[in-house]
Structure 1
């Protein structure tokens, strides 16, 4: 089941499609983080301002250096010891679509603990875009049955895992981490 869903989602991503999928936090809309056209599809579906960047998911913190110019060693400790899912906003984004890089050159990155996400990212060999499965300005759905039909109809593939789960999941904690180690909470 998991293997089949990873294979199905992988095929859609390879073809430039967008998917609706479960994460270690709330349900997300995603695509290949190097595919600008697919990223723009997500912005249109969410009716989101392109100045509001989206985050990328990695399967392991060992890949941080592939997508950020200079990783402060503190980033590894923060990821390792975080009690809740943690998104780190770091400067010097590289090797991803320019559509994901904020005006200040930063990118938000979360190392996912979700098994589906990890396997899909390993198979894709690229980061996965992740943004909440809602129209901009509307509340983020805490589980699948709260997702607007407009979102479900607007993606190219809906992953058939955890759709019946009613476990309340919250968005990740977001911290901005400077190369010198200073950090600030954006969302707790």
Structure 2
């Protein structure tokens, strides 16, 4: 899958938007994601409100590099190394959260969902931002996720969400979710 042709200038503008508490809709492997700065509580709460998502569900963080996700987990180095071998991939792993990770990310459960996506645009956004971003499907809860920039724009542009151009693999399914401590597949 291509990088979708974003320029360095566009990536810097997206990063500035995230730094300022803005929300973005951006392409991932199978659907458009809705994201923000995970450490900006007001931005996360706005995202949850737009999606009408229960905060107790927790959120996924994506990054371009496993080192930027490492501070969010309390896994021992051996387990973390095993998880990282499978990335980048459309595979999200739920792991024990590090102390101090905000409840708005974990849903208050002491676990955090992490992924290094295989989509180059999603990874380029994280690299430009300099760290992880929230990644949840770009849709209102219980509605189909957006599979194009146009559908993401229709759903969220009026709410001030910046729409990042790009494409998704329409044949792909949303990322697999695995609960690391138990090995249980939550979504295949």
User: How does the TM-score come out when normalised to structure 1?
Assistant: 0.84
Report Cα offsets for 1:70-92 as digits up to 9, x if no partner.
24634543443479510000112
- In 2, the alpha carbon distance for the partners of 1:75 and 1:150 equals 36
Question: How many angstroms does 1:145 deviate by?
Answer: 4.1
Tell me, yes or no, if the aligned pair for 1:57 and 1:128 is still in contact at 8 Å: yes
Tell me, yes or no, if the aligned pair for 1:27 and 1:143 is still in contact at 8 Å: yes
- In 1, the alpha carbon distance for the partners of 2:164 and 2:99 equals 28
Alignment partner of 1:33: what SS?
coil
Structure 1 counterpart of 2:176: 173
- The alignment's C-alpha RMSD in Å is 2.4
Alignment of 1:31-180 (within 5 A): 31-71=36-76, 73-81=78-86, 85-94=90-99, 96-147=101-152, 149-162=154-167, 167-178=170-181
- In 1, the alpha carbon distance for the partners of 2:88 and 2:98 equals 25
Alignment partner of 1:109: what SS?
strand
Question: How many angstroms does 1:67 deviate by?
Answer: 1.3
Structure 1 counterpart of 2:186: 186
Tell me, yes or no, if the aligned pair for 2:89 and 2:117 is still in contact at 8 Å: no
Aligned positions, number: 183
Tell me, yes or no, if the aligned pair for 1:143 and 1:169 is still in contact at 8 Å: no
Tell me, yes or no, if the aligned pair for 2:153 and 2:163 is still in contact at 8 Å: no
Structure 1 unmatched ranges of 5 or more: none
Alignment partner of 2:82: what SS?
helix
- In 2, the alpha carbon distance for the partners of 1:90 and 1:74 equals 10
Tell me, yes or no, if the aligned pair for 1:61 and 1:76 is still in contact at 8 Å: no
